[in-house]
Structure 1
Amino acid sequence: MTTRLKRGFWKWSLLALALTGCGGVMGDEAEDEALLTLEGTLRASSTFDLGNSDRIRASLLWDVWPKVVVDCMVNRTYPEGIARCQRLAPKSSYHHPDADVRVNGHFPNTFSMSLNRLPDPAALIGEEGSKLGMAYVMAYVDGNGNGTLDRVSNEATSSPDIIVGFQSGFSMEATEQSFILYREGALHPLYRINFPNCAEIPQGYSVVTLHYTESGEECSVKTRRVDLDMDLEANQAFQQLACQEPNAQVLLDTVRASTVGPPPVGSTQRCGTFIYSISRNDQVLYVNPHPERFCSVANTEVYMLKDYWDGTWDDRASPPSWWPCPVVTTP
C-alpha cells in the first residue's frame, strides 16, 4: 500500500504538533449543542501501561504557523517544500495558543468527544474574512490531577503530565489520515495547497480524511459526527508534546561542526539524516548537551558539515578528525 510518507507528502507532521497550543480538556459535558462529535476506539499497544487509564484525559491540539511561513507555503516560494518556509520565522515566533475548546468523553476502551465551542481566534491562521484552523486529538495522563495539560520549559527535568496517545493515522504504515479543520469565511488558499484532491470544506468544523492507495489518493469530508480512533503507546515523540518550546526537527538549532569543535563531555550523540528535501541522505550529528532534561528534542543541536540552508560553507571534503558520522561528498 502507498503511505503518506512513502509518497513524499509534506502535510503537517507529528513533530510539528509540538508547535501547537492545547485546547480544552476532557471534563464535564458542556451545555451548548455539539458542533462536532468524534467517536472511536482506544487502541493500546504492548508498551502502554493500562494501569494509568483512570487518569487519562484528552486535548485538542491546533497547528499555528507565523504569517511569513503561511505566505511562503501559499506562494510556493521554495519548490523543495515546507522546510525552507518554516525556517523563515524564528523559533520564538511559533506561539502556543490555548484554544478554548471543551471536549467530553469516556475511557478506557472507547471515547466520545464533543466540540461545543468555537476555536479561540489565536488558534486560526489567516486574515479577517478568511481563516483556517487544523487540529488533532491527543491523550495524556493527568499526573498531578489538576484537570489540564501542563506544558514544561526546556530546563525542566520532568513533566507532571505524560502524553500517551495520538489520533490514529500518523505511523509510517498508515494508509488513512484525518485532519480536524475549522473554516471561517472564504476558503483559505492553504487548504488547497494541503488538500488539492478534496472537496471544499463547509463553514465551521469538519474532518478531512485522506485514503492512500496504490493508485493514488482518495479524500472524504465529514461533519457533525465522525469516527476517529486513537493509539495509546509509550512513545517519546508523543511525550515531547508536553514541552512549551517548539521541537520540530526543522527548527532545531544548527551549528558548523568544524567551528564549534567536539560535543561537550556528557552529551548524548547520534548520527542520522536531517531533512531529505534539504540534505538528502547526508549524515549529521545530533547532540543533546543536557540529557538530564525532559525536553530532549528542544535541547538538541544539529552539528553539520555543510550549510544546507544558505550554502555558504561545505566541510565534507575535510571533516574534523573527531567527526563520528559517515561522510559523503556528492552534491
Structure 2
Amino acid sequence: MPRVDVVNVSKNFGVIQALSRVNLTVDDGSYVCFLGPSGCGKTTLLRIIAGFIEPDEGDVYIDGKSMKGIPPEKRGIGFVFQDIALFPHMRLVDNVSFGPEVRRWSYKDALKAALSCLEKVGVDLDHSIYPMEVSGGVAQLVSIARALAVKSKLLLLDEPLGALDPKMRIYMKYRLREIVKSFGLTAIHVTHDQDEALSIADKVVVMRRGKIIQTGSPRELYWKPKSLFVAYFVGEANVIEVVARYSDGSYIADGGGFKLVCGWVPNPIEEGRRAVLAVRPEAFRIIDQPMEKNTLRVEVSSAKRIGRLLHLDILLPGSIHVKAKIQSDTNIEPGSKIYVKIPEDRCFLYPYPKGGLEEEISPV
C-alpha cells in the first residue's frame, strides 16, 4: 500500500494558475477524496500524481521515490475515469485482461487475473458479454477490475460516479470503499459532490483556486471547519452577519435580537468587530422550556417531514431566516412558536471577510 507525497507542486496553463505550491501526504492504505468546486485544481492534481501532466514546480513521491520522468505505466497505479472507457468491441473479461496482456503477461495469467478481479469487485455476470449489454454501474465495476488487474496498489479515481444514475451512485459509493479496503489499496478520489466525499473518505482534501484549504476527516471538516468557505461549501450552513463579543472567556455572536455563545472560533476576533456566524441545519434542537445559554424562541415559517427528519424554515429574533433539520416525531405547524437550542460547539464564528461575504462563500 503506497504512500503518496506531493511537495510544493505548482502548475500553470498559460495565464491560469491551476495549482499553487500544493503540499499533501496521502497515507498508505487510506481513502482520500479531493473535494472542491469546478476549476479548483483537483483533477489537475490527480493527473500530476498519475503522470499524465508534468508539474511546473515541485515533485510527487510514491513510496519515497521521485516520480520525475516516470511515465504513468511505470508508476504502479490504476486509473478510473468518469467516462466509462471500456472497449466496446471486447468482451468484459477481455477488457480486464487487456492491461496484463499489454504488459506481456501470458494469456493464462492475464485471464486468471481478470477473472479474479471481476469476482472480487462483484461482477458475477457472464463475462463473455459486451459492455453495451450491462448497466452503467456494472460497467464501472468492470473498469475498476481492469485498473486492479495489473496489481496496482494505488487507485486514482476521477469523478468515477459522475456518469451513473442517482440510485446507482448511492450503491456504488459504498461499494467502492469496500473494494478499496478489501484489496488493501491506497485510493485518491476526485469529486465535487460533498455527500459522496463525506460518505466514502477517511480523509477529505478541500481545494479552492488551486490551493488546499483544509484537510481532515469528514467529521472534522463538517463540525470544525477552519474557514467560512469550508463551513459553507462542505454540507450546508446558515450564515448570519453578527458582531463579535467576548465575555467570561467565551466568544458571543451578537445578532441584535439574539446572542449565541460560540464554541468553535478558529481565528481570534476583536471585540466589537463584524463577524459571521455559521450554524448547520442539523445543529438545532427543539426543547420544551428555555435554558440559560443558546436558547432562542423562534417562529416556524414552513415545515416538511421526510421520515423522522423535520425540515424547517424558522425566523430568529431580528427577522433572520434560517433552515433547520431536526430529528423529531412531533408535528409542527407553520406559524408555531417553539424553543430551540444550539449547542455552543455547533456555533461557528469567523472574522468578517475582507472581500465581503458573497466573495468568500462563492465556489468560483
TM-score (norm 2): 0.25
Higher relative contact order (CA 8 A, sep 6+): 1
Q: Which has the higher helix share?
A: 2
TM-score (norm 1): 0.27
Q: Looking at CA atoms only, which structure, 1 or 2, has the larger radius of gyration?
A: 2
